[in-house]
């Protein structure tokens, strides 16, 4: 290498950046794991179905109807997926705004998870667009639909992905051994965190605000003018439950990457998160009760939809809230994980109840997703996990940063 | 002091006046105000001949419908039917109702559209522009009448809905359904004229009509107006709120700028306030 500019990766044994990247692209570890055996065919079939979808139209793959135009790809991938990605703004809030350094070791993995979630769920949005070649229209000046909540969400998705990429970028710089770049990028962290939290507040609630105009179409037990607030509050514990869930899996899958210190501090973090979850879930439950009483909805309770509503509120909000509280008092890590899992199911139920199950619940033809929609949904999730795994195995996400980072900080 | 106050009031008055009338006075005074056009549909006159369905399909290049009307069987608009006429069993015998886009004064679909592909023209029709639409179908989610329809089986799908024959209006013609209705159940005109006409019909034949103009206030007022012999619920029309549907998400949208200004300041403040908790621990990472 005659050109010194290219030799940036001194820590990587002085290899050129190109050789280094090619080396990193190679798969690592065993290929025939149970996860790979299940996920690989799903991804291949999913890709095939996506080609059919663009070739023959949305109706060839999806069961959405004229009355129920938003199906699984919007209701699950986008509306639910983004709630689960809320962990990033909560954790960065605690670490960089409240200065609670206990949670520092989970910032990177949470931000990475959030970034990939947004990337793939915004990607799922493109699959669902009938005329995706016009996706640039809301972003260029001549067609600003500023009265649309979806316009706000489109911009926020894009800006928040950039913010998360900047928040994560010091890890990329460390991986490439780019010392000066890391210094510049990590200097931007606090500003992007503040920007990112502001964006998250608005688009997490905005996903609920999307449904404000569908007042007569959503079952009255799930519709209220407070949807934006309930969506925002629930995104806090949805995101944290995802962090707990993902953390318990990462600990097993990537145990060789996690330093001993972080491995030990993990329990403390989980207990702390369970406390936050129980408090925000209490606020959420209280809010839902207020909405229910204020809206005088007693008459709907003794109906099938009413029982379904009670199942969601009691079984998937109140119960996990009490479990979080109990396990926080008793430092029961296993129970926290159970509570996180129930909470996640509760969030899926809640988002689907608003966007699909309770949406036009009175329609003549109900929407039930086709197997092809399900396959594509899982293909999107699996692809995200594959990329997540690739990054975690290579970049300093769970593992310690290279030694020169400490020198830089001091 | 007194003088100052007088002066102050004078300035205030002038400012207030110019603020109140300023908009009108700066506009071109020669331009005649454009009024929304609309269509009055009188269910008591409709014979259910389906001529409107046929001409609508012909004008818009859609397959001409072959199904006939059957009482109690509800047909719906879809990507090949911009309008349908249904027959209902009512307390005063069978009655027809034509369904199509209502051309709201403040359309939910247009407020929902993030590319301004769906918009309310100044003449009154709500129309769709395929050059801007990205096919997100949020208009379909938002429309309280379930009107915008999507071509699910096309690789280049369009949104199908009645556009009040916007192109024909430009040529000085009436919408095709109005022009061809043999029973004169449809009437085209400015919304103001149509409401006057509807009132006149109700007053002159109080026994024949149910005393309500559907669309005068529903959903903030619609361009299509309905008259009927029976309460409109019997014709499958749900009672809707009087406020426009875009007003439902206005509160949220208005809060966005304040959050954008206040949040960063508050967050920065909290950060500074909590900084000394662990000042010896490294910050930026």
A174-230 per-position pLDDT tens digit: 998 888 999 999 999 999 999 999 999 999 999 999 999 999 999 999 999 999 999
A-chain residue closest to B250, CA distance? A147
- Cβ distance B285 to A154 less than 8 Å, yes or no, reads no
Taking the CA of residue A377 as centre, how many other CA atoms within 13 Å lie in the half-sphere pointing to its CB? 18
Instruction: Confirm or reject contact between A145 and chain B (CB < 8 A).
Output: yes
8 A C-beta contact, residue B219 and residue B144: yes
In the prediction, which pLDDT does A34 show? 86
- Angstrom CA distances, A189 to A176, A179, A291, stand at 19, 16, 38
Average pLDDT over chain A reads: 90
Segment A50-54 mean pLDDT: 94
Tell me the chain A residues in contact with residue B260 when contact means C-beta distances shorter than 8 Å.
Answer: 198, 202
A234, pLDDT greater than 80: yes
A contact residues 348-387, partner B, Cβ 8 Å cutoff: 364
Segment A223-241 mean pLDDT: 96
- Cβ distance A198 to B114 less than 8 Å, yes or no, reads no
In the prediction, which pLDDT does A365 show? 84
**How close A120 comes to chain B (CA, Å)?**
17
Confidence tier at A10 by pLDDT (50, 70, 90): very low
In the prediction, which pLDDT does B27 show? 43
In the prediction, which pLDDT does B50 show? 94
- Cβ distance A69 to B141 less than 8 Å, yes or no, reads yes
Confidence tier at B182 by pLDDT (50, 70, 90): very high
- Cβ distance B136 to A150 less than 8 Å, yes or no, reads yes
Confidence tier at A123 by pLDDT (50, 70, 90): confident
Segment A27-42 mean pLDDT: 85
8 A C-beta contact, residue A102 and residue A268: yes
A-chain residue closest to B271, CA distance? A97
Confidence tier at B285 by pLDDT (50, 70, 90): very low
In the prediction, which pLDDT does B127 show? 96
A157, pLDDT greater than 90: yes
At residue B96, φ and ψ (nearest 5 deg) are -100, 155
A contact residues 57-86, partner B, Cβ 8 Å cutoff: 57-60, 62, 64, 66-67, 69-70
- Cβ distance B267 to A214 less than 8 Å, yes or no, reads no
Tell me the chain A residues in contact with residue B128 when contact means C-beta distances shorter than 8 Å.
Answer: none
Segment A30-55 mean pLDDT: 92
Percent of chain A with pLDDT over 70: 96
By Cβ distance, the residue of B133, B268, B278 closest to A99 is B278
In the prediction, which pLDDT does B2 show? 47
A-chain residue closest to B256, CA distance? A202
B283, pLDDT greater than 60: no
Average pLDDT over chain B reads: 88
A contact residues 385-404, partner B, Cβ 8 Å cutoff: none
A3, pLDDT greater than 70: no
- pLDDT tens for each residue of B217-236: 999 999 999 999 999 999 99
**What's chain A's length in residues?**
410
Taking the CA of residue A107 as centre, how many other CA atoms within 13 Å lie in the half-sphere pointing to its CB? 27
Rounded Cα gap, residues B22 and B1, in angstroms:
30
Instruction: Confirm or reject contact between A210 and chain B (CB < 8 A).
Output: yes
- pLDDT tens for each residue of B108-118: 999 999 999 99
Q: Which residues contact A93 (CB under 8 A, 6 or more apart)?
A: A193, A197, B267
Instruction: Confirm or reject contact between A144 and chain B (CB < 8 A).
Output: yes
Confidence tier at B10 by pLDDT (50, 70, 90): low
Confidence tier at B28 by pLDDT (50, 70, 90): very low
In the prediction, which pLDDT does B25 show? 43
**How close B149 comes to chain A (CA, Å)?**
6
Segment A94-113 mean pLDDT: 93
B contact residues 140-159, partner A, Cβ 8 Å cutoff: 140-142, 144, 146, 149-157
In the prediction, which pLDDT does A15 show? 63
Task: Return the structure tokens found at A365.
Answer: 């033809």
A-chain residue closest to B137, CA distance? A69
- Cβ distance A143 to B251 less than 8 Å, yes or no, reads no
At residue B119, φ and ψ (nearest 5 deg) are -150, 160
Segment A347-375 mean pLDDT: 93
- pLDDT tens for each residue of A390-399: 999 989 998 8
A86, pLDDT greater than 60: yes
Report the predicted TM-score, pTM, of the whole model to 2 decimal places: 0.89
- Angstrom CA distances, A235 to A82, B46, B75, B203, stand at 8, 52, 41, 56
In the prediction, which pLDDT does A121 show? 84
Instruction: Confirm or reject contact between B17 and chain A (CB < 8 A).
Output: no
Segment A315-329 mean pLDDT: 96
In the prediction, which pLDDT does A119 show? 92
In the prediction, which pLDDT does A405 show? 83
The burial class, CB within 10 Å (0-12 / 13-18 / 19+), for B112 is buried
A-chain residue closest to B239, CA distance? A216
Q: How many CB pairs under 8 A join A and B?
A: 182
- Cβ distance A130 to B135 less than 8 Å, yes or no, reads yes
In the prediction, which pLDDT does A31 show? 77
Bridge partners, residue A318, by sequence:
none
Confidence tier at B4 by pLDDT (50, 70, 90): low
- Angstrom CA distances, A195 to A154, A192, A304, A395, stand at 16, 5, 43, 25
B-chain residue closest to A60, CA distance? B153
Segment B255-265 mean pLDDT: 94
**How close A1 comes to chain B (CA, Å)?**
32
Confidence tier at A6 by pLDDT (50, 70, 90): very low
In the prediction, which pLDDT does A27 show? 74
- Cβ distance B278 to A97 less than 8 Å, yes or no, reads no
B contact residues 223-282, partner A, Cβ 8 Å cutoff: 238, 240-241, 245-246, 248-249, 251-253, 256, 259-260, 263-264, 267-268, 270-271, 274-275, 277-278, 281-282
In sequence order, which ranges of A57-188 are alpha helices (DSSP H)? Answer: 72, 81-84, 87-92, 107-128, 149-176, 179-187
Confidence tier at B11 by pLDDT (50, 70, 90): low
- Nearest CA-CA partner of A353 in A224, A199, A245, A237: A224
Mutation to test the B interface, candidates A79, A189, A212, A410, most B Cβ within 10 Å: A212
- Nearest CA-CA partner of B274 in A362, A95, A14: A95
Rounded Cα gap, residues A379 and B64, in angstroms:
41
């Amino acid at each position: 290498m005659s050109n010194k500019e290219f030799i940036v990766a001194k820590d990587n044994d002085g290899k050129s950046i190109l050789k280094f990247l090619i080396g990193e692209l190679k798969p690592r570890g065993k290929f025939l794991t149970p996860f790979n055996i299940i996920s690989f065919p799903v991804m291949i079939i999913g890709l095939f179905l996506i080609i059919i979808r663009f070739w023959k139209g949305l109706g060839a793959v999806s069961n959405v109807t004229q009355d129920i135009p938003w199906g699984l790809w919007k209701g699950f991938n986008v509306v639910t997926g983004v709630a689960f990605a809320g962990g990033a703004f909560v954790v960065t809030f605690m670490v960089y705004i409240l200065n609670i350094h206990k949670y520092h070791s989970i910032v990177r993995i949470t931000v990475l998870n959030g970034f990939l979630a947004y990337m793939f769920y915004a990607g799922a949005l493109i699959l669902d667009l009938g005329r995706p070649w016009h996706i640039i229209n809301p972003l260029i000046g001549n067609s600003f639909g500023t009265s649309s909540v979806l316009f706000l969400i489109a911009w926020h998705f894009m800006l928040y992905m950039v913010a998360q990429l900047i928040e994560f970028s010091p890890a990329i710089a460390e991986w490439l051994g780019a010392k000066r770049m890391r210094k510049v990028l990590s200097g931007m962290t606090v500003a992007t965190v503040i920007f990112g939290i502001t964006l998250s507040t608005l688009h997490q609630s905005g996903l609920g605000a999307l449904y404000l105009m569908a007042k007569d179409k959503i079952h009255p037990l799930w519709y209220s003018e407070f949807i934006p607030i309930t969506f925002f509050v629930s995104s806090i514990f949805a995101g944290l439950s995802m962090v707990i869930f993902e953390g318990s899996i990462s600990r097993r899958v990537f145990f060789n990457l996690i330093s001993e210190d972080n491995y030990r501090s993990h329990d403390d973090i989980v207990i702390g998160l369970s406390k936050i979850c129980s408090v925000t879930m209490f606020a959420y439950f209280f809010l839902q009760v207020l909405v229910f009483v204020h809206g005088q909805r007693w008459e709907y309770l003794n109906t099938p939809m009413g029982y379904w509503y009670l199942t969601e509120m009691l079984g998937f909000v109140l119960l996990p809230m009490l479990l979080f509280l109990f396990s926080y008092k008793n430092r029961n890590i296993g129970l926290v994980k159970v509570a996180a899992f129930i909470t996640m199911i509760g969030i899926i139920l809640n988002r689907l109840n608003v966007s699909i199950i309770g949406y036009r619940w009175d329609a003549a033809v109900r929407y039930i997703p086709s197997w092809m929609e399900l396959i594509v949904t899982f293909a999107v999730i699996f692809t995200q996990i594959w990329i997540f795994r690739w990054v975690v195995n290579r970049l300093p996400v769970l593992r310690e940063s290279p030694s020169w980072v400490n020198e830089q900080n001091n | 002091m007194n003088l100052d106050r007088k002066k102050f009031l004078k300035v205030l008055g002038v400012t207030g006046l110019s603020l109140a009338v300023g908009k009108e006075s700066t506009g071109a005074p020669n331009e005649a105000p454009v009024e929304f056009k609309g269509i009055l549909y009188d269910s008591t006159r409709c014979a259910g001949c389906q001529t409107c369905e046929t001409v609508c399909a012909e004008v818009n290049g859609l397959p001409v419908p072959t199904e006939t009307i059957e009482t109690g069987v509800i047909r719906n608009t879809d990507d090949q039917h911009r309008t349908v006429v249904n027959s209902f069993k009512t307390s005063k015998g069978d009655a027809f109702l034509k369904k199509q886009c209502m051309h709201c004064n403040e359309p939910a679909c247009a407020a929902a559209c993030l590319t301004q592909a769906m918009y309310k023209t100044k003449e009154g029709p709500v129309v769709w522009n395929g050059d801007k639409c990205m096919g997100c179908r949020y208009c379909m989610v938002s429309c309280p009448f379930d009107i915008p329809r999507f071509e699910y089986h096309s690789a280049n799908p369009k949104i199908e809905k009645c556009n009040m024959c916007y192109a024909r209006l430009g040529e000085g013609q009436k919408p095709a359904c109005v022009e061809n209705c043999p029973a004169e159940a449809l009437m085209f005109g400015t919304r103001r004229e149509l409401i006057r006409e509807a009132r006149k019909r109700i007053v002159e034949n109080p026994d024949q009509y149910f005393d309500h103009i559907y669309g005068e206030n529903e959903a903030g007022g619609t361009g299509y107006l309905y008259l009927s012999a029976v309460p409109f619920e019997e014709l499958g029309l749900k009672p809707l709120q009087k406020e426009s549907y875009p007003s439902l998400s206005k509160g949220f949208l208005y809060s966005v700028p304040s959050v954008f200004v206040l949040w960063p300041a508050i967050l920065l403040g909290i950060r500074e306030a909590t900084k000394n908790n662990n000042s010896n621990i490294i910050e930026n990472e």
